[in-house]
Amino acid sequence: MARVDWRIQGYDITNCNCAWGCPCQFMSPPTHGNCHAGVFFQIERGHFGKTPLAGLAFGGLFAWPNAIHMGNGQAQPVIDVRANDAQRGALLKIMSGEETEPGATIFNVFSTTYSKVYEPIFKPIRIEANPEARTARIEVEGLFEARIEPIRNPVTGQSVRAQIVLPAGFEYERADTASGQVRTMAGARIPLSWDARHAHFARIDMTGAGVVHGRAA
């Protein structure tokens, strides 16, 4: 059966509880033996079939008791409250790995590792980001907030730029690493809290066939 044609272009901002650099990016065990994350995407251009997606944000809160590939994870999808019914349905299908070649995107791969997916939350998502400066502020009303800044040299205090390059990656091709501070609000089904842990900014260009490589900014 033919898949729905979709494409999203923009950037993603990932925060996780691993040390800067995140060993998971290199097929190593997570720093603390488990993985907790808050991941949000800002779409600059995009569509799902005939449904436009430009200007919308989406993401989620996630937790795995061990390394991600060992499964038993929990996921809380979060969708921009401005999305209409068609856009909400489209983003949820993308996030769940539907209309995607097996193993082609982070959404499809991670969908196989969840034992619990909570009902989606539709809330205002505010993202203020300067990927070049490695600074950002993310707020999901009443649910989640993150502050991101550059990694700094512990001796000089100067900001340090370090990149991760994955030529065949299923999330991105190139990402700038940063340092993140994360908090969830009372009542969050997946509570998250940490300071000075891994964060990254990545330009994304993704379709149902996977990441469009060779065009990373």
Q: Is the pLDDT of residue 8 over 50?
A: yes
Q: Is the pLDDT of residue 71 over 80?
A: yes
Q: How far apart, in whole angstroms, are the C-alpha atoms of residue 217 and residue 207?
A: 17
Handedness of CA 48, 24, 199, 216 (dihedral sign): negative
User: What are the extents of the domains in the chain?
Assistant: 6-211
Which SS3 state, helix, strand or coil, does residue 211 take? strand
pLDDT of residue 187: 87
Q: Is the pLDDT of residue 119 over 90?
A: yes
Q: Is the pLDDT of residue 2 over 70?
A: no
pLDDT of residue 214: 74
pTM: 0.94
For the chain, the average pLDDT equals 95
pLDDT of residue 162: 96
Q: Is the pLDDT of residue 217 over 50?
A: no
pLDDT of residue 213: 85
Q: Is the pLDDT of residue 188 over 60?
A: yes
Which SS3 state, helix, strand or coil, does residue 88 take? helix
Q: C-alpha distances in angstroms, 91 versus 51, 118, 123, 195, 207? A: 10, 15, 14, 30, 12
pLDDT of residue 216: 44
